Chains A and B, each alone.
Chain A
Amino acid sequence: MLNEVFVPPRLPGLFLILASAVCAQDAEHPAQHAEHSAQDPAHPAQHTGMVDMSPAGMFLMNLASGTAANPASSPMPMAMMHFGKWNTTFMGAGFVMDTQQSGPRGGDKFYAPNWFMASAQHRAGSRGSFEADLMLSLEPATVTDRRYPLLFQTGETAYGVPLVDAQHPHNFIMGLGFHYTHQLADETFVDAYFAPVGDPALGPVAFPHRASAAELPQATLSHHWQDSTHIADDVVTLGISHKKIKFEASGFYGSEPGENRWIIQSGPINSWAARLWFFPSKNWAAQVSAGRIAHPEALEPGDQVRATASLHYSKPMLGGSWSSSLIWGRNHSTATHRDLNSYLVESVVPIRAGNFLTGRFELVDKDELFTGQPDIEARLDRSYGSTFRIGAYTIGYTRDIHLFRSIETGIGANFSAYSLPAAIQPYYGEHPVGGNVFIRFRLRPAS
Chain B
Amino acid sequence: MRTICMVFIAALTLTGAEAPKTFTGVITDTMCGAKPHSAMMKDKPEAECVRLCAKGPFGYALYDGAHVMQLSDQKIPAKYVTQKVNVTGTYDEKTKILKVSSIELQ
Contacts and interface: CB of A to CB of B under 8 A. Distances in A.
Contact of B56 (A62, A126, A319): A62
Given A49-B35, A50-B40, A58-B55, A447 B30 contact: yes
Interface stretch (A17-25, A69-77, A156-164): A69-77
B106 interface: no
Contacts of B67: 34-35
A49 B68 contact: no
A35 B96 CA distance: 13
A8 to B, nearest CB: 22
Contact of B52 (A33, A58, A319, A353): A58
A72 B34 contact: no
A387 B47 CA distance: 57
Given A1-B30, A49-B31, A447-B30, A72 B56 contact: yes
B74 A316 contact: yes
Interface string A23-39: 00000001101111110
Contact of B34 (A36, A58, A75, A319): A36
B15 interface: no
A34 B33 contact: yes
Interface string A181-207: 000000000000000000000000000
Contacts of A36: 34
B103 to A, nearest CB: 17
B99 A1 contact: no
B59 interface: yes
B79 interface: no
B57 interface: yes
B7 interface: no
In this complex, the interface size class of chain A, counting residues with CB under 8 Å from chain B, is 20 to 34
B18 to A, nearest CB: 13
A33 B33 contact: yes
B41 A54 contact: yes
Interface string B60-71: 000100111010
Interface in B1-33: 30-33
A318 interface: yes
B55 A38 contact: no
A14 interface: no
A194 to B, nearest CB: 24
Given A31-B68, A447-B96, A1 B33 contact: no
Nearest to A319: B95
Contacts of B30: 1-2, 447
B36 A61 contact: no
Nearest to A350: B95
A75 B57 contact: yes
Nearest to B95: A353
Contact of B57 (A3, A30, A126): A3
A51 interface: yes
Contact of B40 (A51, A75, A126): A51
A52 interface: yes
Interface in A316-344: 316, 318-319
Contacts of B63: 34
A105 interface: no
A109 B70 CA distance: 42
Given A34-B33, A36-B34, A126 B59 contact: no
Nearest to B32: A49
Given A36-B34, A53-B40, A447-B68, A318 B55 contact: no
A282 interface: yes
A49 B41 CA distance: 12
Interface string B90-106: 00101111010000000
A126 B32 CA distance: 20
Nearest to A70: B57
Nearest to A87: B40
A51 B53 contact: no
A353 B52 CA distance: 27
A51 B39 contact: yes
Given A3-B57, A62-B56, A31 B31 contact: no
Contact of A353 (B33, B42, B53, B94): B94
21 contacts: A1-B74, A30-B33, A31-B96, A34-B63, A34-B67, A35-B68, A37-B34, A49-B31, A49-B33, A49-B35, A52-B40, A52-B42, A58-B52, A58-B53, A62-B56, A316-B59, A316-B74, A319-B95, A353-B92, A447-B30, A447-B33
Given A49-B33, A62-B56, 9 more contacts: A2-B59, A35-B34, A38-B36, A50-B31, A72-B56, A72-B57, A74-B57, A76-B57, A353-B92
Q: Give the 5 A-B residue pairs with the shortest CB-CB distance, closest first.
A: A34-B33, A76-B57, A34-B68, A1-B59, A38-B35
